[in-house]
Amino acid sequence: MVGWVLYDFANTIFSFVVVTRYFNDWIVEERGQPDIYVGLMVAAVSLALVVTLPLLGALADRRGRHKPILIVFTLVCVVATGLLGVVESVLLALVVGAIATYAFNTADSQYHPLLSTVAPERSRARVSGIGVAVGYLGSLTALALIGTVATDGHAQRAFLPGAALFALFALPLFVLVREHREPGARPAIGPFAQLAATVRRARREPHGRLLLARFFYVDAIATVLQFMTVYARRTGDFDGRDIDLLLAISTVAAIGGAIGAGLLAQRIGPRNVVLATLAMTVVALLVGAATGSSELLWVLGPLIGIALGSLSAVDRVFLLRLVPEERRGEDFGLYALVGKLSTGFGPLVLWGGTILLATEVAGLSRFDASRVAIVVLAGSALVGYAILRPLSDRPLAPAASS
């Protein structure tokens, strides 16, 4: 279990350094590029994941092993993240950032199914919550160590140490976690046929509703997280030190959200935890957008942190209840794919597209356009809530012992 938990720590270092704190700040604020450039990069990654994740998930199922794919793409991600620290061209930075993000998400899709290897069904929610909580300690570690190097105006300095920390804390999973599953016997098919078959099956089964809901609520929360640094700067009241403090407080809140949600899910089920989290998120986003208050970010940030920690800990447990063991690689590939499609759609369309229209057509300032975009994201989270609400989290098949 220790190796699995520490990989969450490593994962969150990458997510903090590249997704949340430094990459967007570097490209959008320091290099003066439009928000939509990052959205286009993320959308391109999403399209690549559409083609490959279902095939890789099915390949892992047939071989009965997730670790080989995870290890290869983790190493690719580490190398690409390090390269971000030395490239100069914005175009090249976007390409290398896309490679790092693609590799990160591919490895991550093979990480979640390993929860069934390291923990029995009765304790998976608790172990998942611990993993997410320890993971967010990775954000605090990155903030403490990298924040002293990547000062205001020097965001690019974050990537080399971020890559080193990611590699260091991913290593225990490579060594300590052992898989014991038998290989499956399904024949190999092409990636588009595999994707079509996986989607058709999901449409007929309960986990498909969870995945559809997840598209909308991950869309909202991940996009808010990705552009929180940019939004905070646009209020005019946040400098780099204030942003680091806001992110630190939000990360501590995420740790509490992950642990609390994991324990609560064991008592009342993952469905109720996810629904309560989404209701809180919608209200927080609407209030934040309506007021436009920079002071309210000190409340909104931690609430988004709680939501992110809660959902990260619980919705993968929810999915484990709804899919059989022999399909977990394939279905968690689709789980990851849905999340990454939404995180491509959100920055490109709901954030970048909304701001482009609001500034160029409606004539709003970039700050007021950002407030409009937050309302749009609240609507996305509300759609996810409505889709998920009729779904039961009762296990559909006996869980295999680990």
Both tokens of residue 200? 């058709």
Question: SS3 helix, strand, coil % of the chain, rounded to 5?
Answer: 80, 0, 20
* Closest by Cα among 146, 375, 367, 131 to 248: 146
Cα separation, 323 vs 304, in Å, equals 28
Query: How many domains in the chain?
Result: 1
* CA angle centred on 102, ends 97 and 234, rounded to 5°: 45
- Given this model, what pLDDT does residue 402 score? 37
Range with top average pLDDT, 237-251, 253-267, 278-292: 278-292
* Closest by Cα among 50, 295, 26, 336 to 154: 26
Exposure of 133 by Cβ count < 10 A (0-12 exposed, 13-18 middle, 19+ buried)?
A: buried
Tell me if 294 sits within 8 A of 238, measured CB to CB: yes
Q: Which residues constitute the domain of residue 266?
A: 2-180+187-388
CA dihedral (351, 353, 354, 358) positive or negative? positive
* Closest by Cα among 118, 121, 125, 107 to 57: 107
333 versus 372: the higher-pLDDT residue is 372
Cα separation, 94 vs 53, in Å, equals 21
Residue 400 maps to a domain: no
Residue 401 reports pLDDT greater than 70: no
Cα separation, 301 vs 119, in Å, equals 32
Residue 203 maps to a domain: yes
Cα separation, 193 vs 113, in Å, equals 22
Dump the DSSP string for 64-95. Answer: T-SHHHHHHHHHHHHHHHHHHTT---HHHHHH
Express each pLDDT in 335-394 by its tens digit. Answer: 877 776 776 778 788 888 899 899 988 889 888 998 999 999 999 999 999 999 998 877
Question: Which residues are CB-contacts of 83 (< 8 A; sequence separation ≥ 6)?
Answer: 96, 159
For 40, other C-beta atoms within 10 Å of its C-beta total: 16
Residue 394 maps to a domain: no
Cα separation, 363 vs 343, in Å, equals 27
Residue 393 maps to a domain: no
- Given this model, what pLDDT does residue 399 score? 43
Cα separation, 395 vs 241, in Å, equals 46
Residue 396 reports pLDDT greater than 70: no
Range with top average pLDDT, 135-139, 188-192, 311-315: 311-315
Tell me if 32 sits within 8 A of 240, measured CB to CB: no
Residue 399 maps to a domain: no
Cα separation, 330 vs 67, in Å, equals 14
CATH number at residue 349: 1.20.1250.20
Residue 400 reports pLDDT greater than 50: no
Residue 401 maps to a domain: no
400 versus 152: the higher-pLDDT residue is 152
